[in-house]
Amino acid sequence: MWRTLLFCLLLPASLAAEEVVLGLSSDEVSITTRFDGDEILIFGAVKREAPIPDGPPLEVIIAVTGPHEPLTVRRKARRSGIWINTDTVEVDSAPSFYAVATSGPLDEVLSQTEDQRYKITIERAIRSVGAPPDVTDAEAFSDAVIRIRTNASLYQQLENHVAVDQQTLFRTDIDLPANLTEGDYATRIFLTRDGQVVSSTETSIDVRKVGLERFLYSLSRQQPLVYGLMSLAIAIFAGWSASTVFRLLRER
């Protein structure tokens, strides 16, 4: 009994003996009119107060999460020769971007209990509520969101993508697609042993529109009437310019 009690008292101290020291190649991403994606290098080290413990090797999980947003997911079915919306499910919260990179197979470096606690896998990152009683397969709607956003490179599961050197240094790179949502992108790093999280830390990457892109975005949100009139004026001017050029070419 005393040995069990002593082990329980020493266990938190042994887990806290390994801590994450994190680094980013850049903590800002600027979205311009020519933005076609970016790559973020995430690296770090493990700070220890004692030698590397015996037993299972240290594993690293890195998750980058974009701003969360609610979604309305509709299912279409063919009725009388036409496609119509038949079922609707409200997804309470889904990240606009989510990438999870691991140093090994995900089901080996993270237990289901820890995944439930920290919401690390893509499936856990999506929270779905509001399914009507007549919809018995609500999970299919969340799966559809994952499938669509995975095809658009907005959701990425990168197993064996984190390099770990001597259980101390780690690094990985995350590709950010061109269709990013503006906002703060939370970056979480987890150290695990035998599927259990022994340490974690979090920082953020600031993704913002800049220059002309930022001006047009702000104008469309803050003064939609002015933005609409300006767009109409530009369209009229472009049409008039094109017709003038063609008329001059025909006269020659």
- Residue range 179-237, pLDDT digits in tens: 888 889 999 999 999 999 999 999 998 887 655 555 555 556 666 776 677 677 777 87
73 and 103 together in one domain: yes
10 in any annotated domain: no
Whether residue 117 is contained in a domain is answered as yes
Q: Are residues 56 and 32 in the same domain?
A: yes
Residues 240 and 138 in one domain: no
CA distance readout (Å), 35 to 29, 180, 213, 220, 225? 10, 10, 10, 19, 27
Look at residues 191, 217, 189, 219 and name the one whose alpha carbon lies nearest to residue 205.
189
In a domain, 54, yes or no: yes
> Within a domain: residue 20?
yes
Residue 146 and residue 36 share a domain? yes
- Residue 9 resides in a domain: no
Domain count, the chain: 2
Indicate whether 86 pLDDT > 60.
yes
Domain with residue 116: its CATH number is 2.60.40.3880
User: How far is CA 61 from each of CA 77, 111, 181, 191, 195, rounded to the nearest angstrom?
Assistant: 39, 12, 23, 7, 11
Half-sphere exposure of 74 (CA within 13 A, CB side): 6
Sort residue 114 into left (φ over 0), alpha (ψ -120 to 50) or beta: alpha
Residue range(s) defining the domain that contains residue 101: 15-209
- Sign of the Cα torsion 19, 40, 218, 220 reads negative
Q: Which residue has the higher pLDDT, 53 or 218?
A: 53
* Structure confidence by residue, pLDDT tens digits, 7-43: 343 444 444 578 888 878 777 787 666 777 888 899 9
Q: In what order do the strands lie in the sheet with 155-158?
A: 28-31, 196-209, 183-193, 59-65, 98-102, 155-158
**pLDDT bracket for residue 165 (50, 70, 90):** very high
Say yes or no: 120 and 224 in one domain.
no
Q: What is the pLDDT of residue 247?
A: 73
